Amino acid sequence: MSAQGSAPSTGATSVAAVLAERRDAGTGALVGYLPVGFPDLATSIDAAVALVENGVDVLELGLPYSDPVMDGPVIQAATQQALANGFRLRHAFEAVRGVRERVDAPVLLMTYWNPVVQYGVERFADDLRDAGGAGVITPDLIPDEAGDWLAASERTGLDRVFLAAPSSSDARLARAVEVSRGFVYAVSTMGITGARSDVDRAARGLVDRLRAAGAENACVGLGISTAEQVREVLEYADGAIVGSALVAALAEGGVSAAGATAARLAEGTRPGSASAL
């Protein structure tokens, strides 16, 4: 069994278990992203809960950061506003705890690496586990530089989700599969976050290569914004990750709009259901 499948129990439903359950059900998982603290801490928690209540299987909560090089304009605008409104790192754990008290979906944090380094990698891992978090997605931390994090996640049993890209060599994909736990984040296209009209064909090829490298769980992200795209991705991947579309809905129409968008996207996880998109 590949490393990504197994995690010491943290008392929460694990990401791998949710993905397996959805796979066994013949569908796939919807992974939903929202930034913590946008537009404020309480609303971001309500919105995350609304996502789960409307069909999101796994939550990915992003930590606002001053220099988000992997993010497009929608997420940049939201996270800049969260920072301007006083986001602090400790709010991440409050958000995880707040969400976990109300819904059962596993919660991953998505964070650029410097905030974790400054908080202390071990302390960050402890506080995340204590808050009921499932693990961390690290967009600017590659396995080559992740010694501290591999040790801390090993000790705490937290999931660690590394990125894989169409441009990654076979050796790098093998390494990403080996060290990731929860799933491997397959970057659908060469680019940054933000809705795209068609999710690159490269995604299918990348997931095939990840499977060949032994990946049990691979989720595809970047550019997915419609139920059709979710359905298409779930033909070959275990999860479809949606960010900007949910953030845009929250920005424009508040919690109810974010929930409604999640519900529409979740149609894509039910093959055969007639969607009126």
Partner 1 sequence: MTDNISERLAHLEPLPGPYFGEYGGRFSPEPLVAALDELTAAWEEAKRDPAFRLELDDLHRSYTGRPSIITEVKRFAEHAGGARILLKREDLNHTGSHKINNVLGQALLTKRIGKSRVIAETGAGQHGVATATAAALFGLDCVIYMGEVDTERQALNVARMRLLGAEVVPVTAGSRTLKDAINEAMRDWVTNVGTTNYVFGTVAGPHPFPAMVRDLQRIIGDEARDQVLELVGRLPDAVAACVGGGSNAMGIFTAFLDDPEVRLFGFEAAGEGVDTPRHAATITKGRPGVLHGARSYLLQDEDGQTLESHSISAGLDYPGVGPEHAWLADIGRATYRPVTDAAAMSALRLLSRTEGIIPAIESSHALAGALELGRELGPEAVILVNLSGRGDKDMTTAGHYFDLLDRGAEQV
In the set 60, 127, 200, 238, the catalytic residue is: 60
The Cα–Cα gap between 146 and 150 comes to 6
Q: What angle do CA 92, 187, 12 make, to 5 degrees?
A: 40
Smaller CB separation from partner 1, 99 or 161: 161
Minimum distance, C-beta of residue 269 to partner 1, in the bound complex (Å): 26
Query: The sheet that has 159-161: what strands, in order across it?
Result: 159-161, 135-137, 107-110, 58-62, 29-35, 239-242, 218-221, 184-187, 163-164
144 catalytically annotated:
no
Smaller CB separation from partner 1, 55 or 72: 72
Smaller CB separation from partner 1, 91 or 231: 91
- Sort residue 120 into left (φ over 0), alpha (ψ -120 to 50) or beta: left
Minimum distance, C-beta of residue 109 to partner 1, in the bound complex (Å): 14
216 catalytically annotated:
no
Minimum distance, C-beta of residue 276 to partner 1, in the bound complex (Å): 33
Minimum distance, C-beta of residue 113 to partner 1, in the bound complex (Å): 5
Give 84-102 as a DSSP string.
Answer: HTT--THHHHHHHHHHHHH
The Cα–Cα gap between 266 and 253 comes to 18
Smaller CB separation from partner 1, 104 or 170: 170
Minimum distance, C-beta of residue 67 to partner 1, in the bound complex (Å): 5
Helices (H), 25-130: 41-53, 73-84, 90-102, 113-119, 121-130
> Which two tokens mark 205?
């090829």
In the set 46, 57, 67, 71, the catalytic residue is: 71
Give 217-260 as a DSSP string.
Answer: -EEEESS--SHHHHHHHHTTSSEEEE-HHHHHHHHHHHHHHHHH
3-state secondary structure of 107: strand
- In degrees and rounded to multiples of 5, residue 61 shows phi and psi of -100, 120
Smaller CB separation from partner 1, 6 or 114: 114
Give 189-211 as a DSSP string.
Answer: SSS-SS--SS--THHHHHHHHHH
Minimum distance, C-beta of residue 35 to partner 1, in the bound complex (Å): 14
Smaller CB separation from partner 1, 52 or 128: 128
Q: Which residues bind partner 1 (CB under 8 A)?
A: 65-70, 72, 76, 80, 83, 88-89, 113-119, 139-142, 144-145, 162-169, 172, 176, 187, 190-192
> Which two tokens mark 22?
């959805």
Question: Which active-site residues does the annotation give?
Answer: 60, 71
